[in-house]
């Protein structure tokens, strides 16, 4: 899909398609953002240049350590976040958004606009 399509053109295109294809950009993006915690982690990383595991855990108190670890690994495999290990004393790891991950920031801007209008 061309990025210059407006909402009306996009809906016309979607309605003219009989089958939702695995190659559909919306379908593929929703698969990346699916899961209870992925969007929460991405959103927190949008607000900071980098964060340690403990900082992420504090910013999302309802997530368990194992779920946060799993979510971070998934997002790293998807190339949404970058994991950098510092072999210092004490050793630590920092997470940040990749260029691909930073391209999701406008999505959060639009979600925010919708929330301000509708919630």
Domain ranges for the chain, please list them. Answer: 39-118
Cα–Cα distance for residue pair 58/91, rounded to 1 Å: 19
Is 65 within 8 Å of 71 (Cβ atoms)?
no
Q: Where are the alpha helices (DSSP H) in 1-119?
A: 7-16, 25-33, 38-46, 53-59, 65-77, 99-102, 105-118
Q: How confident is the model at residue 60 (pLDDT cuts 50, 70, 90)?
A: very high
Q: Is the pLDDT of residue 4 over 90?
A: no
CATH class entry, domain 39-118: mainly alpha
At 108 the pLDDT is 92
At 28 the pLDDT is 84
pTM, to two decimals: 0.84
DSSP 19: S
At 58 the pLDDT is 97
Model pLDDT for residues 10-49, shown as the tens digit of each residue? 788 777 776 566 777 788 888 889 989 999 999 999 999 9
Which percentage of the chain shows pLDDT scores above 90?
70
Across-strand partners of 82? 96
């Amino acid at each position: 899909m061309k990025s210059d399509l407006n909402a009306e053109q996009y809906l016309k295109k979607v309605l003219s398609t009989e089958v939702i294809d695995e190659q559909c950009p919306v379908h593929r993006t929703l698969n990346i953002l699916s899961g209870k915690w992925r969007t929460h982690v991405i959103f927190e990383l949008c607000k900071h240049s980098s964060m340690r595991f403990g900082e992420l855990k504090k910013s999302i108190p309802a997530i368990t350590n194992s779920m946060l670890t799993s979510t971070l690994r998934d997002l790293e495999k998807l190339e949404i976040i970058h994991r950098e290990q510092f072999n210092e004393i004490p050793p630590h790891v920092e997470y940040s958004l990749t260029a691909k991950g930073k391209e999701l920031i406008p999505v959060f801007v639009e979600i925010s606009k919708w929330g301000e209008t509708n919630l």
